[in-house]
């Protein structure tokens, strides 16, 4: 299995078609405009949206899916600006979830910078997340498409469900039903990460006039891409570099969150092992976390999870093969490759 990669291997937007680069620039400009609020709101928005910004993958997926779809159905009349508006709404929704995560996890770092809660406190952070979510709804409405709005709101509901399920205490009772544990894991990521990527593809294709079959194919691409993306994120929690991934290594294990690498490792170790005693507890000290990371690696959890992530990337690219070739489809394939290559 490849080793953890560094930020130097990050996705290069310059590779994509000129109109995609222009779309992302417009998304960036709109997000900067949102930060033009009086302090401390404006300062906090600038910090989380601009200073702590990620790679804008979700807006990128949305505009790519839309452009890819419109290259298939160029006869359909559409408003390109609605694509940008929808992409902004998705990024704001994603930002709200990140702020909430940092408060719940008591994280002081977000993408290598101090988190909102570390700088302004938990109460302010929660209110800022609410503001970001409200803004995301405003932009979703601006896209002027009821079906797209319906997808957006259901995605927001599912994200909340996933968070509740993730934070619900659990205990492993013999005999352990690993089929259930794996399904539970996929339910959580399908409601959140994978579901958000799928929604990006659905909304983009919908705004560009895609038919039911085309929208389904792009949505399945997004779901598969998102599954792989989250599995790789969960692997990086075990083998990544804290500076590069922007949060402490072992955060999931420390917070009692059961992810795929741990589930797969548990299947390969005796129920009386140290790893079994750690799982599900949210009060592990640093030495226990380090030991848990070691146990998961030695039991093959990382290697097996990587194989699963590769399976979903293969599925994602298979979905694209049913679409006509274009620079946009190639760019989506590049995104799929990037997702798995984050481990080198």
pLDDT at 3: 56
Q: Which CATH homologous superfamily contains domain 17-341?
A: Farnesyl Diphosphate Synthase (1.10.600.10)
Asked whether residue 6 carries a pLDDT value surpassing 50, the answer given is no
> Are 141 and 189 spatial neighbours (Cβ–Cβ below 8 Å)?
no
How many percent of the chain have pLDDT more than 90? 72
pLDDT 10s digits, 169-225: 666 666 778 999 999 999 999 999 999 999 999 999 999 999 999 999 999 999 999
Residues 60/24, Cβ–Cβ less than 8 Å: yes
pLDDT for 175: 74
Lowest mean pLDDT among 167-176, 227-236, 248-257, 302-311: 167-176
What's the per-residue H, E or C state across 312-333? HHHHHHHHHHCCCCCHHHHHHH
Is the pLDDT reported for residue 67 higher than 60?
yes
Mean pLDDT of the chain: 91
Lowest average pLDDT, out of 93-97, 109-113, 180-184, 186-190, goes to: 109-113
pLDDT score, position 40: 96
Question: What is the pLDDT at residue 113?
Answer: 92
Lowest mean pLDDT among 176-180, 230-234, 296-300: 176-180
Q: 74-78, 175-179, 328-332: which range is least confident on average?
A: 175-179
- Where do the domains of the chain lie? 17-341
Whole-angstrom distance, CA of residue 78 vs CA of residue 260: 41
d(C-alpha 244, C-alpha 256), whole Å:
23
User: Of 153-167, 240-254, 261-275, where does mean pLDDT reach its minimum?
Assistant: 240-254
Give pLDDT, residue 241: 76
Give this prediction's pTM.
Answer: 0.93
pLDDT of 261 over the 60 cut: yes
What are the backbone dihedrals phi and psi of residue 110, each rounded to the nearest 5 degrees, phi first? -135, 110
Predicted pLDDT of residue 173: 64
Q: Any idea which of 3-7, 128-132, 231-235, 302-306 has the lowest mean pLDDT? A: 3-7
Task: State the pLDDT at residue 188.
Answer: 95
Q: Provide the 3-class DSSP secondary structure of residue 40.
A: coil
For the chain, give the percent of residues with pLDDT over 70: 92
CA-to-CA distance for 74 and 3, rounded, in angstroms? 42
| For residue 242, pLDDT beyond 90 | no
Question: Which stretch of DSSP H or E encloses residue 109?
Answer: strand 109-110
**Residue 191 corresponds to which tokens in the numbers above?**
């409601």
* Average pLDDT value for residue range 5-14: 50
pLDDT at 321: 94
């Amino acid at each position: 299995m490849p080793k953890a990669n560094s930020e130097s291997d990050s996705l290069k937007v310059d590779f994509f078609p000129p109109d995609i680069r222009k779309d992302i620039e417009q998304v960036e400009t709109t997000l900067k405009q949102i930060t033009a609020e009086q302090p401390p709101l404006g300062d906090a928005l600038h910090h989380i949206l601009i200073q702590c910004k990620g790679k804008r993958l979700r807006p990128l997926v949305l505009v790519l899916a839309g452009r890819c779809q419109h290259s298939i159905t160029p006869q359909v009349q559409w408003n390109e600006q609605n694509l940008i508006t929808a992409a902004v709404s998705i990024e704001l929704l994603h930002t709200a979830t990140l702020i909430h995560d940092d408060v719940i996890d008591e994280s002081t770092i977000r993408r290598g910078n101090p988190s909102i809660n570390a700088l302004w406190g938990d109460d302010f952070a929660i209110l800022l997340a609410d503001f970001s979510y409200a803004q995301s709804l405003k932009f979703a409405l601006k896209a002027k498409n009821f079906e797209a709005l319906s997808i957006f709101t259901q995605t927001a509901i599912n994200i909340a469900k996933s968070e509740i399920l993730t934070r619900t205490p659990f205990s492993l009772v013999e005999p352990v039903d690993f089929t259930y544990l794996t399904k539970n894991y996929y339910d959580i990521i399908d409601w959140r990460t994978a579901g958000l990527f799928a929604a990006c593809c659905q909304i983009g294709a919908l705004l560009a006039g895609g038919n039911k079959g085309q929208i389904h194919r792009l949505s399945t691409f997004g779901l598969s891409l998102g599954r792989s993306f989250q599995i790789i994120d969960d692997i990086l929690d075990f083998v990544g570099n804290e500076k590069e991934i922007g949060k402490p290594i072992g955060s999931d294990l420390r917070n009692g969150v059961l992810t795929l690498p741990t589930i797969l490792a548990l299947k390969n170790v005796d129920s009386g092992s140290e790893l079994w005693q750690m799982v599900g507890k949210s009060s592990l000290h640093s030495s226990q976390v380090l030991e848990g990371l070691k146990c998961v690696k030695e039991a093959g959890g990382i290697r097996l999870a990587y194989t699963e992530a590769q399976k979903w990337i293969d599925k994602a690219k298979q979905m694209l093969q049913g679409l006509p070739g274009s620079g946009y489809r190639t760019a989506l394939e590049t995104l799929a490759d990037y997702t798995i290559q984050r481990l080198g």
